[in-house]
Amino acid sequence: SAQVIDGRACARALKASVAADIELLKEERLPIGLATVMVGDAYGSVAYERRLRRLAADLGVPYLPRRLPATVSQAELDDTIAELNAAPDVSGILVLRPLPPHLSEAVTFQAIHPAKDIEAVHPQNAGLLALGVPRYVPSTAASAYHLLDTWLDSVGEDRADFYHRSLIVVVGRSNNVGKPAVSLGYDRQAAVESIDEWASHTGTLGRHTRRADVLIVAAGRPGLIRAEHVNDHAVVIDVGINPRTGPDGVTHMVGDVDHATVAPRVRALTPVPGGVGPVTDVWLLRNTAAAARVNSARLLSSQEPS
């Protein structure tokens, strides 16, 4: 049976190194602060905000959760972001998704100052990521690879050698998870294949996924990947987070991978919960700390005489 990759242990270790970074920032008196903007009150966003509040408090990072009503106009949302852009004690800004349909993600993301755009959603940061020179690596895709890298170290496999001979198949092609996961695979000089829901509609999903040495699944479809979709040496990273209400009326989180049938078959896999999720939260704080340095460098250079 597969090794279950422990995301919580990985998150704890990462958190210790982020805490050390934050101590240094404090010694250097560089302001660090995280702001989130939530429009409406989607179930997933509320839960994410709660986790970030707790984690920021643990790490001693000021946290500014802004909530706007679901009816807010684009102009009002942009004004809120402009305020956060100008706030010297805010180093990183995260706009929680989904936005209500009357608001434009493209317009909203361009309103974020690139130096504070810790999820790399602004075109400038998305472009730098695609060019292989990221300013910030988006937290979910970063966490998928952080788990892989950490697991490779734990089994004594050379990272470069593993990636150079691997095919990474990414299921799901969203701007915030699937596409960054493809870019990070390129950065590791792996062969990478990206598929979306058309592979399912056309019945070709398994043909792609069975060839994967690394299978990263971010489709948001519970139980999408089953035993017949994997091979016996695959390492499976399950990014999906789906609420599922059992016969007892209790709602649990499940991934996109049918753990019960896939686990006996593959080499290693991440569970849900306790896999990618906990690492993602800490990675966002890591980017918030990195942003404190980017912002202070920017402010110093803007004070220089021109």
CA distances from 155 to 5, 147, 249 (A): 11, 12, 40
Task: Check residue 284 for interaction with ligand NAD (CB under 6 A).
Answer: no
**Binding site feature residues:** 172-174, 241
Report whether the peptide linkage leading into residue 98 is cis, meaning its omega lies within 30 degrees of zero: yes
**Binding site feature residues for NADP(+):** 172-174, 241
- Which lies closer to ligand NAD via its Cβ, residue 134 or residue 240? 240
Task: Check residue 91 for interaction with ligand NAD (CB under 6 A).
Answer: no
Piece of the chain touching ligand NAD by CB under 6 A; list 24-32, 184-192, 226-234, 240-248: 240-248
Piece of the chain touching ligand NAD by CB under 6 A; list 49-57, 66-74, 159-167, 234-242: 234-242
Out of 62, 220, 223, 274, point to the residue binding ligand NAD (CB under 6 A): 220
Here's the x/- map for ligand NAD, 187-216, by CB under 6 A: it reads as ---------xx-xx----x-----------
How many binding residues for ligand NAD (CB under 6 A)?
A: 25
Site for ligand NAD in 137-166 (CB under 6 A): 140
Q: Which of 118, 124, 126 is nearest to 284 (CA)?
A: 118
Tokens 């101590």 belong to which residue?
23
- Which lies closer to ligand NAD via its Cβ, residue 74 or residue 174? 174
Out of 10, 169, 218, 269, point to the residue binding ligand NAD (CB under 6 A): 218
Site for ligand NAD in 117-136 (CB under 6 A): none
Q: Which of 28, 179, 39, 147 is nearest to 97 (CA)?
A: 39
Report whether the peptide linkage leading into residue 31 is cis, meaning its omega lies within 30 degrees of zero: no
C-alpha 54/C-alpha 59 separation (Å) is 9
Out of 92, 134, 172, 180, point to the residue binding ligand NAD (CB under 6 A): 172
**Nearest distance, CB of residue 71 and ligand NAD, angstroms:** 23
The pair of three-digit structure tokens given for residue 133, joined into one six-digit string: 């020179």
Task: Check residue 277 for interaction with ligand NAD (CB under 6 A).
Answer: yes
The pair of three-digit structure tokens given for residue 186, joined into one six-digit string: 């390129």
Out of 190, 224, 235, 262, point to the residue binding ligand NAD (CB under 6 A): 224
* Sign (positive or negative) of CA dihedral 217, 137, 143, 81: negative
Q: Which of 11, 7, 6 is nearest to 285 (CA)?
A: 11
Task: Check residue 178 for interaction with ligand NAD (CB under 6 A).
Answer: yes
**Nearest distance, CB of residue 7 and ligand NAD, angstroms:** 9
Task: Check residue 80 for interaction with ligand NAD (CB under 6 A).
Answer: no
Task: Check residue 261 for interaction with ligand NAD (CB under 6 A).
Answer: no
Contacts of 300 (CB under 8 A, 6+ apart): none
- Which lies closer to ligand NAD via its Cβ, residue 227 or residue 299? 227
The residues that touch ligand NAD, with contacts defined as CB under 6 A, are 140, 171-174, 176-178, 196-197, 199-200, 205, 218-221, 224, 239-242, 276-277, 280
